[in-house]
Amino acid sequence: MSKTKELIEIINTYPEHKLIFMYPEEGSEHPYTMGYPTEIIVDEYWIDDERVWLKYDNEGEMSDHYGELIFDDLYPDVKIINDEQDKVVDKKTQEFIDSQDWQKCICVYIHY
């Protein structure tokens, strides 16, 4: 199935979802360039100070990123985490992720 047909079907199936586009951040001498959809997913997104996170597509990376920050906040003098601390960090990380303002979306990845 072509990406155009796939996108039309997904939009018709999820009309209440926001349509967002993800593309590589590469410099260009021109204000616009042509790209093509390579992947289309239905997900949820949230934007922090640094990037756009997709709840399911970025789940592992997001858990690692915020888990490290939460570990550093909870245990600033600890270098190696033990099993009990790991459970606490995992729980706090999941609570943090779940508490964000997630927006339902259709995410279209664009590549040049």
Count Cβ atoms below 10 Å from residue 85 Cβ, excluding itself. Answer: 14
Q: How many domains does the chain have?
A: 1
Q: Which domain holds residue 38?
A: 3-111
Count Cβ atoms below 10 Å from residue 54 Cβ, excluding itself. Answer: 19
pLDDT in tens, 49-77: 989 999 999 999 999 999 999 999 999 99
Mean per-residue pLDDT for 79-99?
Answer: 95
pTM, rounded to two decimals: 0.84
Secondary structure letter of residue 58 according to DSSP:
T
